[in-house]
Structures are given as C-alpha cells and as structure tokens.
C-alpha cells in the first residue's frame, strides 16, 4: 500500500484549524443526537445542503424522535419527502427506524457494523454517524471526500472502481485522527463542498494546498477521473388523467420497485412499435372506460438513470367501483398539490 508523502497529523492539523475558522453552521451540527445526524446524512445523499435544510426541519417537526418516525405511516413519510428525489431513501429511512425500535428499543446503535446493518446505510454513512454523533474514529468516503483525497494525493483512475476505491478507503483510514474525529469528518466534507469543488477549485484558499500533490502538479482540474458515462435513455410514457365530479383518479405504485409507495395517475410505457395514442387507448380500455381520451400536453422529467417524456390525456370516468381499490384515490387538484406524486406526474398538475 502506498504511504503518505507527509505526516497524517500535519494534514489533520491544517484541516481542523481551517474548520475552526470556516466551518459551516448547519442545523444538524447543533446536536450530537445520532437520530438527527443519521437523518441529515441520508437526506444529503445525492442532494445539496441548500435543498436539504427545509426538508430536514419539516421532518424533525413531524418526527422529532426515531420512535415517532417508526410509528408514522409510510404515506406520511413519503409525503414529507416528496420533491427531494431518490425516494428509495425515504422507504429505507422508515424501515431503518422500525428496525431501531424493534431491535434496539428505540436507542440508536453505536457500533459501525450494527449501523451498517440498517436499511439504506452504507459504510461511509455509518462512519459519519459514528464520528459525528459518538466522536469515535471511523473513516468516511462520500463524494466530497473522494474528490479531496484524489487531488490531495494525485490519485488517477475512476474513484469508484474497485481498486481505486479500496486504496481511497485505506487513505481515509490513515488520515482520520483518533483525536476530534467528530470535527475532522465535518471538516473534510466541508472542504470538498466549499473549496475543493468539482469545477474551479479554490486552491488559493485551501488549507491543504501546501500538501496537495495535484495542485503542485497542476492537474487538480483533471481529478478525480471518471469512468465512461453511459448514454441516458429516453422513455416514452402515457398518463391518463381520469376525472369525475372535479376530482382525479390516482393510484399508489408498488412498494417494492422504483418510486415505490409514491402515487401517480394511471400510466404505462409506450412500446417502441406503438404510438402514444394507441398506448393510451389500451390504457383507457384497461381501466374499463369507453370514452375517447383527449390529449392534454406533454411533460419531461429526468430521473437518476433515465429521462422520461410523459404524454398526458384526460378522460371522464365513473367513480363507482374504482374507489373500492385500496391503492386508488379520487382527489381534487388542491389535494393533489400536497399529495406524494412522483416527479413527472407532479409536473402534470401544471396542465390541469
């Protein structure tokens, strides 16, 4: 294993001194409650701080303890999560809260391995909880830290490839100090978020520029290297806005799949060999309706691994029979505005 070109203590001393001057004041940093720190870490996965703060505050207002989160219905959790994206995190959050209550009596576990056993918690998230909540040494390797370490030691190669990732974990272990791991974890994440940014890093303000191998080699803009990006497919869908007496029919998606537990208008993917008009006619017949659907418009939305183009149609319907199904609801537009619809169908409300 490649060693460090300078003492680890030198790096942590510089970083912690900078953090004392420039660390961000964030809501979850005002507490050592592992529940609050866990909640913030899950919300911050794939999402920026500015977007997370209002969601974090609303969640705590609704579920101030892990016991109350576990006792809440999943629909309520998804409703408060709506708009934050990556909805699997919300389902895992609820499942993990239930596990903390059922297996740990509502007391958040302190051991790294036990925390990693919770749904939706990986090694880096668990390390952040152990470091920040319990002030015990545990390395972290989120996106910001990967970038800092790749530049600090001029590590080339895709940082998510098995070989490079293993090396980065060993470096993170060596650099994480026994003293003040709570501050170190937050400091190195802050450095990546505010100074060592993906583009145009502010090397002149960086407390580690004197140690940074990429800076001295002039390759900081080239690191970290990324693997080849896959083409993002475009999926064509149709959605049917069935209306009756000023209300619209929505249904809940299965829990065990993409966007699980969220709600949508009846919809289907358009097969390659069909037009959207043919697909919506089949969807209308499948819903037991005889009326001819009328085009309303088109919305576009990007998910993590694909883009979707949804062709919207309206059709009158009879509420009798449909409302009896447990996962269907008739809702007025005002209700739909606050309902946990997934992203593309939430956009459809703008055309009603």
Q: Is residue 118 part of a domain?
A: yes
Q: Is residue 227 part of a domain?
A: no
Same domain, 341 and 287: yes
Same domain, 239 and 210: no
CA 29 to chain CA centroid, Å, is: 19
Q: Which pLDDT value is given to residue 220?
A: 96
Same domain, 18 and 146: yes
Same domain, 52 and 168: yes
**Per-residue pLDDT tens for 177-213?**
999 999 999 999 999 999 999 999 999 999 999 999 9
Same domain, 146 and 74: yes
Instruction: Show the beta-strand stretches assigned E in 153-306.
Output: 234-244, 247-252, 263-264, 267-269, 294-302
Q: Is residue 148 part of a domain?
A: yes
Q: Which pLDDT value is given to residue 1?
A: 41
Terminal-residue alpha carbon distance, the chain: 61
Same domain, 165 and 282: no
**Ranges in the chain, pLDDT < 50:** 1, 320-321, 324
Q: What is the C-alpha separation between 148 and 7, in angstroms, rounded?
A: 17
Same domain, 315 and 335: yes
**Per-residue pLDDT tens for 121-167?**
999 999 999 999 999 999 999 999 999 999 999 999 999 899 999 99
Q: Is residue 319 part of a domain?
A: yes
Omega before residue 224 within 30° of 0, cis: yes
Q: What is the C-alpha separation between 90 and 79, in angstroms, rounded?
A: 10
Give the pairing of strands 234-244 and 247-252.
Answer: antiparallel
Q: pTM, whole model, 2 decimals?
A: 0.85
Domain boundary among 222, 243, 264: 222
The 8-class DSSP code of residue 141 comes to -
Identify the residue whose tokens are 């749904």. 119
Whether the CA torsion 327, 64, 94, 336 is positive or negative: it is: positive
Same domain, 198 and 345: no
What are the backbone angles phi and psi of residue 208, rounded to the nearest 5°? Answer: -105, 5
* CB contact at 8 A, 90 and 78: yes
Give the pairing of strands 294-302 and 263-264.
Answer: unpaired
* Selected catalytic residue, list 9, 41, 272, 277: 41
Whether the CA torsion 183, 189, 190, 191 is positive or negative: it is: positive
CATH code for position 331: 3.90.79.10
Q: What is the C-alpha separation between 97 and 103, in angstroms, rounded?
A: 10
- Which candidate, 145, 180, 138, 174, places its Cα nearest to that of 160? 145
Same domain, 200 and 145: yes
Q: Is residue 228 part of a domain?
A: no
Q: Which domain holds residue 210?
A: 8-222
Q: Which pLDDT value is given to residue 314?
A: 95
Instruction: Show the beta-strand stretches assigned E in the chain.
Output: 234-244, 247-252, 263-264, 267-269, 294-302, 307-316, 328-331
Identify the residue whose tokens are 């520029």. 209
**Overall number of domains in the chain:** 2
Q: What is the C-alpha separation between 56 and 40, in angstroms, rounded?
A: 7
Q: Which pLDDT value is given to residue 289?
A: 87
Q: What is the C-alpha separation between 54 and 171, in angstroms, rounded?
A: 34
Domain boundary among 169, 196, 222: 222
Tokens of 300: 């576009």
Q: Which pLDDT value is given to residue 351?
A: 86
Non-local (6+) Cβ contacts of 280 within 8 A are 238, 240, 293, 311, 313
Q: Is residue 64 part of a domain?
A: yes
* CB contact at 8 A, 351 and 333: no
Active site residue 326: no
CATH code for position 54: 1.10.340.30
Domain boundary among 222, 244, 274: 222
Q: Which pLDDT value is given to residue 312?
A: 96
Q: Is residue 78 part of a domain?
A: yes
Q: Is residue 140 part of a domain?
A: yes
Q: What is the C-alpha separation between 318 and 86, in angstroms, rounded?
A: 34
């Amino acid at each position: 294993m490649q060693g460090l070109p300078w003492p680890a203590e030198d790096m942590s001393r510089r970083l912690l001194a900078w953090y004392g001057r420039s660390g961000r004041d964030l809501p979850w940093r005002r507490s050592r409650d592992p529940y609050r720190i866990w909640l913030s870490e899950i919300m911050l996965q794939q999402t920026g701080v500015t977007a997370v703060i209002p969601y974090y505050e609303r969640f705590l207002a609704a579920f101030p303890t892990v016991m109350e989160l576990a006792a809440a219905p999943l629909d309520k959790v998804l409703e408060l999560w709506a708009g934050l994206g990556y909805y699997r995190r919300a389902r895992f959050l609820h499942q993990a809260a239930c596990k903390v209550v059922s297996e740990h009596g509502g007391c958040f576990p302190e051991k790294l391995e036990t925390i990693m056993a919770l749904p939706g918690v990986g090694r880096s998230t668990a390390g952040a909880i152990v470091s920040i909540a319990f002030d015990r040494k545990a390395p972290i390797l989120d996106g910001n830290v990967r970038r800092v370490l790749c530049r600090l030691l001029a590590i080339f190669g895709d940082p998510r490839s098995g070989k490079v990732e293993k090396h980065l974990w060993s470096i993170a272990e060596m650099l994480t100090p026994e003293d003040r791991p709570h501050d170190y974890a937050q400091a190195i994440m802050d450095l990546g978020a505010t100074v060592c940014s993906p583009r145009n890093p502010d090397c002149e303000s960086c407390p580690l520029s004197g140690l940074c191998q990429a800076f001295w080699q002039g390759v900081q803009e080239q690191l970290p290297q990324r693997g080849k990006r896959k083409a993002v497919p475009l999926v064509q869908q149709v959605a049917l806005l069935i209306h009756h007496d000023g209300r619209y029919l929505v249904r809940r998606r299965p829990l065990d799949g993409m966007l699980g537990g969220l709600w949508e208008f009846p919809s289907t993917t358009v097969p390659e060999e069909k037009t959207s008009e043919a697909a919506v006619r089949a969807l209308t017949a499948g819903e037991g309706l005889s009326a001819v659907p009328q085009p309303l418009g088109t919305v576009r939305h990007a998910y993590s691994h694909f883009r979707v183009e949804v062709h919207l149609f309206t059709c009158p319907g009879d509420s009798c029979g449909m409302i009896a199904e447990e996962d269907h609801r008739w809702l007025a537009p005002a209700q739909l505005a606050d309902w946990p619809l997934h992203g593309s169908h939430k956009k459809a409300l703008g055309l009603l």
